[in-house]
Amino acid sequence: MYRYDSYDQSIVDARVEEFRDQVQRRLTGALTEDQFKPLRLMNGLYLQLHAYMLRVAIPYGTLSGKQMRKLGEIAAKYDKGYGHFTTRQNLQYNWIKLADAPDILAELATVEMHAIQTSGNCIRNISSDQYAGVSADEVADPRPWAELLRQWSSFHPEFTYLPRKFKIAVIASDDDRAAMRLHDIGLKLVSKDGVIGAEVYAGGGMGRTPMVAPLIRDFVAEEEIVSYLEACLRVYNRYGRRDNKYKARIKILVHEIGVEEYKRQVEEEFAHMRELGLNPPTEELDRIRAFFANPAYETGLSEDVDRTDPAFALWVDRQVTAHKAPGYAIVNISLKPLTGIPGDASAEQIELVASLAEQYSLDELRVTHAQNLVLPHVRKADLYAIWQKLEEAGLAEANLDLITDIIACPGLDYCALANARSIPLAQKIAQRFADAERQAELGELKLKISGCINACGHHHAGHIGILGVDRKGVENFQLLLGGSGAQDASLGQITGPGFSEDGVVDAIEKVTDIYLAERTDGERFLDTYRRIGMKPFKEAIYG
Amino acid sequence: MVEFLSFRDGEAAQEPAVTVESFTGQSNATAVRIEPGEDARELLPHLDRLSLVEVNFPAYGDGRGYSAARILRESGFQGELRAVGDVLVDQINAMRRCGFDSFHPNKALDDAAVERALNRYADVYQKAIDGRQPVWAKRHPEKIDG
């Protein structure tokens, strides 16, 4: 894992003091709320319906046990005992007092964490693949690139007042586990003639105008990635729309001028910028890369897993993924208990996972964009012990990528922007499909719920997506089918008129019935939908 | 409180700035003002006769002026580069990094707050216009000097 040196630490510490000063000016009345708002937003502090919400960055989703423990301590000390893991590998506290925010940031800084640029119209937390470094199918570990870009984007002087927020994801496998093409810029590391570089995709995103990012360059060498991204951002900063915040994301610029014209402008700017000495020397990426070297895996470990306990065997089949090192496995921890809030973890659960990471996973864990957790380096021999501890803590749900592994935004229960409540709906759906055999029968089925058109719950990218809207003061839910955030990225299509909360649960059941009736061998829900189209589903729903 | 802030040696340019349109249409003006939607590169053929470029920020959240400033400096502009308009203490540091060397904000700034803002960060991550060594250069001095 990456560790701060004195430079990184001094920058984060300076930010804590700067923010403490800003909060102090607000508390004494020297700053009005209007003046303070843009300052707090640059540091992840939102004023929500009931309290302040603080969003903490978990860069590329990688954490140590100590960092995780600190997140749990903060939840217990400053929040109501919970943290909420988000679709961008961040953690949100929903019940924060303004006066406490500087102390929370100071505590985070002691474990090399921060909330820098987790909101505002700037480059946000760089996200990545939760299996980075442990998956056999990657060309290189994407996290050194993500860390290089974290540093480059932090307090970037030119790109702090962009037209709108800017999200970057970096992956390195053909399997896209980070919804890379639904980011403003997505990088996919590739190998060309034995050299690692990046394919660059630009102009993806969700929100009210969802777009899958097109490829704008098939190779950028690592020694030029910074200057190339500076060119991408400069064209966007200069020409992205600022007259309408709903048309201000880069996807609208790329769409309006066309991908070829955007590419042309970027190439022209890149030709200029690559000569300016903006790129760190290759030694810098090498320095960062050294932090992500393979840990010292034990050799000669047993591959055997005792499957005598049927509940454990079920969990292993669903939650455990292949690791590149012999005798090791990747453990996915579900934060989607059937009666819980998707992505929420209590302070005690956070503490437990921190301990498990320290004891069983070489002191490392990951956060996924699907709002789950991962123990990336687990000896197969330890799986049973881990499962028992997760079971005791209510964290042993076996539903990875199944219909109850729901992505949901906080919705109207917390969010000032929402039109509808996402959490109670997620719980109703989870209850309806609670039966383990039924879920397993349905197989991979990614269900995603957003409580408003801003699409924080990624509904466009759900195999089944749900969008909450306000219809004359009543919550109404639109249903979408056929989206995907993976390597086969696509946008879901709306089935037709919306539903009540109970009505949409019924409609989902009808949709899954059609799938079960129509599928051929090995087809996932998404495959069947793509083969047979919307019509049979629509007929079943609206009859 | 300060109404005008300069980091240049000598007197600030006094000539009133003209619009980009009238500047490119006439030959004797030596000061020009860029508005957010205007292309700083239109000025590049005329940099040698410009003593002042003002970049207007009608609203602090419109960041196009940061790119305009950097483009001018990257192209060798040595004259005064002045940020005017809705310029707040919280933006001064980033503006300095992008090459602005004078400031004429709508509202006067508190000198002490400006001082704090400019000295807050001992280290920076990017190479920009202000000549500060980025952290990566400090980490690898042998690569940078050699």
Q: Mind giving me the DSSP string for A248-270?
A: -SHHHHHHHH-HHHHHHHHHHHH
> Distance, in angstroms, between B29 CA and closest chain A CA?
26
State which H helix or E strand residue A218 sits in. strand A215-221
Q: In A, which residues are within 8 Å of B123 by CB distance? A: 7, 10-11
Going by pLDDT thresholds of 50, 70 and 90, the confidence category of residue A185 is: very high
User: Which residue's entry shows tokens 């704090």?
Assistant: B116
Residues A450 and A523 in one domain: yes
Retrieve residue A466's tokens.
């749900």
Tell me whether residues B124 and A272 touch, CB distance under 8 A.
no
Tell me whether residues A14 and B121 touch, CB distance under 8 A.
yes
Query: For chain B, what is the mean pLDDT?
Result: 93
Given a contact cutoff of 8 angstroms between Cβ atoms, the answer to whether B54 and B72 are in contact is no
Provide the strand spans (E) within chain B.
Answer: 5-6, 18-19, 31-34, 52-57, 80-85, 102-105
Q: In A, which residues are within 8 Å of B125 by CB distance? A: 11, 151-152, 154-156
Nearest-CA neighbor of A422 among A434, A432, A408?
Answer: A408
Tell me whether residues B138 and A7 touch, CB distance under 8 A.
yes
> Distance, in angstroms, between A412 CA and closest chain B CA?
28
User: Which residue on chain B is closest to A9 by alpha carbon?
Assistant: B123
What is the percentage of chain A residues whose pLDDT exceeds 90?
93
Residues A181 and A285 in one domain: yes
Q: What is the ipTM of this complex?
A: 0.97
Q: In A, which residues are within 8 Å of B90 by CB distance? A: 22, 38-39
Residues A256 and A165 in one domain: yes
Q: In B, which residues are within 8 Å of A236 by CB distance? A: none
Retrieve residue A321's tokens.
């993924």
Residues A145 and A173 in one domain: yes
User: Which residue's entry shows tokens 């995780």?
Assistant: A68
- Residue B145 has what pLDDT? 54
Does residue A400 form part of some domain? no
> Distance, in angstroms, between A468 CA and closest chain B CA?
30
Amino acid letter, A157: P
Tell me whether residues A242 and B128 touch, CB distance under 8 A.
no
**Residue that finishes a domain, picked among A75, A109, A143:** A109
Domain positions in chain B: 5-145
Examine the pLDDT at B100 and tell me if it is beyond 70: yes
Domain harbouring A160, CATH code: 3.30.413.10
Does residue A301 form part of some domain? no
Query: For chain A, what is the mean pLDDT?
Result: 96
> Distance, in angstroms, between B61 CA and closest chain A CA?
6
> Distance, in angstroms, between A43 CA and closest chain B CA?
13
What is the percentage of chain A residues whose pLDDT exceeds 70?
100
- Partner residue facing A152 (CB), from B60, B125, B138: B125
Does residue A397 form part of some domain? no
Examine the pLDDT at B15 and tell me if it is beyond 70: yes
Note the pLDDT tens digit of each residue in A261-307: 999 999 999 999 999 999 999 999 999 999 999 999 999 999 999 99
Note the pLDDT tens digit of each residue in A194-221: 999 999 999 999 999 999 999 999 999 9
Residues A413 and A528 in one domain: yes
Q: Is A143 helix (H, G, I), strand (E, B) or coil?
A: helix
Nearest-CA neighbor of A90 among A50, A132, A122, A62?
Answer: A62
Tell me whether residues B116 and A159 touch, CB distance under 8 A.
no
Given a contact cutoff of 8 angstroms between Cβ atoms, the answer to whether B44 and B16 are in contact is no
Domain harbouring A56, CATH code: 3.90.480.20
List B105's β-bridge partners, or say none.
B85
Rounded CA gap, A138 and B142, in Å?
32
8-state DSSP, A240: S
Q: Does the beta carbon of A25 lie under 8 angstroms from any beta carbon of chain B? A: no
Lowest mean pLDDT among A280-294, A384-398, B14-28: B14-28
| 3-state SS record for B51-75 | CEEEEEECCCCCCHHHHHHHHHHHC
User: Which residue's entry shows tokens 């051929």?
Assistant: A520
Given a contact cutoff of 8 angstroms between Cβ atoms, the answer to whether A289 and A367 are in contact is no
Share of chain B residues as helix, strand and coil, in percent rounded to the nearest 5: 40, 20, 45
Q: Is B135 helix (H, G, I), strand (E, B) or coil?
A: helix
Examine the pLDDT at A173 and tell me if it is beyond 50: yes
Does residue A225 form part of some domain? yes
Q: Does the beta carbon of A310 lie under 8 angstroms from any beta carbon of chain B? A: no
Rounded CA gap, A151 and B136, in Å?
9
Q: Is B81 helix (H, G, I), strand (E, B) or coil?
A: strand
Amino acid letter, B111: D
- Residue A413 has what pLDDT? 86
Residues 6+ apart with CB under 8 A from B62: A161, A242, B36
- Residue B70 has what pLDDT? 98
Rounded CA gap, B28 and A200, in Å?
45
Retrieve residue A379's tokens.
């000896």
Q: 10 Å Cβ neighbour count for A360?
A: 19
Tell me whether residues B139 and A5 touch, CB distance under 8 A.
yes
Q: In A, which residues are within 8 Å of B70 by CB distance? A: 158
- Residue B146 has what pLDDT? 41
Note the pLDDT tens digit of each residue in A63-113: 999 999 999 999 999 999 999 999 999 999 999 999 999 999 999 999 999
Retrieve residue A442's tokens.
């349905």
Residues A250 and A173 in one domain: yes
Residues A246 and A215 in one domain: yes
- The CATH class of B5-145 is alpha beta
- Residue A43 has what pLDDT? 87
Residues B72-81 as b or e (16 or more Cβ within 10 Å = b): bbbeebebbb
Rounded CA gap, A338 and A335, in Å?
9
Going by pLDDT thresholds of 50, 70 and 90, the confidence category of residue B144 is: low
Rounded CA gap, A388 and A31, in Å?
52
Residues A75 and A180 in one domain: no
Q: Does the beta carbon of A4 lie under 8 angstroms from any beta carbon of chain B? A: no
- B143: left (phi > 0), else alpha (psi -120 to 50), else beta? alpha
Q: 10 Å Cβ neighbour count for A288?
A: 21
Q: CA distances (Å), B31 to each of B67, B103, B115, in order?
A: 19, 15, 28
Tell me whether residues A11 and B121 touch, CB distance under 8 A.
yes
> Distance, in angstroms, between B122 CA and closest chain A CA?
7
- A401: left (phi > 0), else alpha (psi -120 to 50), else beta? left
Going by pLDDT thresholds of 50, 70 and 90, the confidence category of residue B25 is: confident
Q: 10 Å Cβ neighbour count for A147?
A: 24
Q: How many domains does chain A have?
A: 4
Given a contact cutoff of 8 angstroms between Cβ atoms, the answer to whether A190 and A209 are in contact is no
Given a contact cutoff of 8 angstroms between Cβ atoms, the answer to whether A221 and A245 are in contact is no
State which H helix or E strand residue A322 sits in. strand A320-322
Residues 6+ apart with CB under 8 A from A189: A138, A139, A140, A142, A145, A170, A171, A172, A196, A197, A198, A199
Give the alpha-carbon dihedral of A253, A128, A388, A360, to 10 degrees. Answer: -160
What residues make up the domain containing A224? 134-289
Rounded CA gap, A496 and A480, in Å?
8
**Residue that finishes a domain, picked among A340, A362, A392:** A392
